[in-house]
Amino acid sequence: MIPELTDAGYRVIAMDHLGMGRSDKPVDPEFYSYVYHVERLEVFIQELELEGITAFVQDWGSVIGLNVVGNHPEWFDRVVLANGFLPTWPEGYVPFTMPEDVDAATERMFSTISKAPASMPKLRNEDGEYTLVFKLMGGPHDFADWIAYARYDERFKPSQITEAGTFFALSPEERAAYDAPFPARIAMGGVRAFPGLTMDMGGTTDSAWEGLRSFEKPFLTIIGNNDTGHLGSVENQNYHIENIPGAEGQPHTRLIEASHFLQDDQGVEVARLIIEFIKANPVSK
């Protein structure tokens, strides 16, 4: 995506969250927290004195980024949401019940990942409904299994997860690049902690959703249709379209040959859609 956007004349900033990329990697998963990730993004934007931002948020980038957008709408000119969401759980709510048998949970998750072929069949039709192929593959896993697998299973690798979440196969070079920031398991504290951060999110997003429900600046959704989880569902996409005013009248899209990590599957196309979105929604002075 980045070369397409810079070639079109835009400045692109891709921030590493703590524990990711080339950023610092505290080794203890307990060090990481959702609120701290949100605060770091806020400080990052302030330290660089960024303004007029067009935010592209996906997966945990949306769970973190939409919180910042909702609480600081004045920093942003536009938002693009891709396969993501911002949950609204009450304070003290525990969204998932962790399995008593961790070994069984991690085996279930490993089995699910192992069944995902490098090049995926179409698991949703053009209306976003599950196909028979997906039902034969066993359907979605439990998110609690994913929390346990990421945290405790030594077979966990970033490239493995990315491959399972893409429509097209990754090349050996791409797989190696995803694993390169994590030369040993001890460096994976941040990525291993991420799924479990959902357990402490209750009551942390209320003010952000107040801001999002009154966010009238342009808001576009681009969804990888082959993402079989909640983030790829029509229901999740429509929830944001219906609840964020700036989404009205925008050309919301579902990319048929793209899965959860749509920026890997259709990066050039996603960038093209963002460029069209920016040009169609100039900032009024």
Q: Are strands 76-82 and 53-58 parallel, antiparallel or unpaired?
A: parallel
Please check whether residue 105 lies inside any domain of the structure: yes
- The partner residues of 82 in beta bridges, in order of sequence, read 58
Structure confidence at residue 130 (pLDDT): 80
Find the catalytic residue in 17, 59, 145, 264: 59
pLDDT along the chain (285 residues), means of 10: 98 95 93 97 98 97 98 98 96 93 94 84 86 56 89 95 95 96 95 95 97 98 94 96 98 97 97 98 82
Structure confidence at residue 120 (pLDDT): 85
Please check whether residue 285 lies inside any domain of the structure: no
Please check whether residue 250 lies inside any domain of the structure: yes
pTM summary value:
0.94
- The partner residues of 223 in beta bridges, in order of sequence, read 254
Structure confidence at residue 133 (pLDDT): 61
Structure confidence at residue 141 (pLDDT): 52
d(CA 110, CA 22): 27
Task: Dig out the tokens for 146 from the structure.
Answer: 């994913």
Distance of CA 239 to the CA centre of its chain: 16
Structure confidence at residue 118 (pLDDT): 84
Please check whether residue 82 lies inside any domain of the structure: yes
Please check whether residue 174 lies inside any domain of the structure: yes
Structure confidence at residue 117 (pLDDT): 82
Are residues 22 and 47 in contact, defined by beta-carbon separation less than 8 angstroms?
A: no
Show the domain range for 146.
Answer: 2-280
Find the catalytic residue in 227, 240, 264, 265: 227
Left if phi > 0, otherwise alpha if psi is -120 to 50, otherwise beta: which for 67?
alpha
CATH of the domain at 242: 3.40.50.1820
Total domains, the chain = 1
Answer yes or no: 59 catalytic: yes
* Amino acid (1-letter code) at residue 271: A
Answer yes or no: 260 catalytic: yes
118-125 long-range contacts, CB within 8 A, separation 24+: 118/163, 118/169, 118/170, 119/167, 119/168, 119/169, 120/166, 120/167, 120/226, 120/259, 122/225, 122/226, 122/256, 122/257, 123/226, 123/228, 124/225, 124/226, 124/228, 124/232
Find the catalytic residue in 37, 260, 264, 265: 260
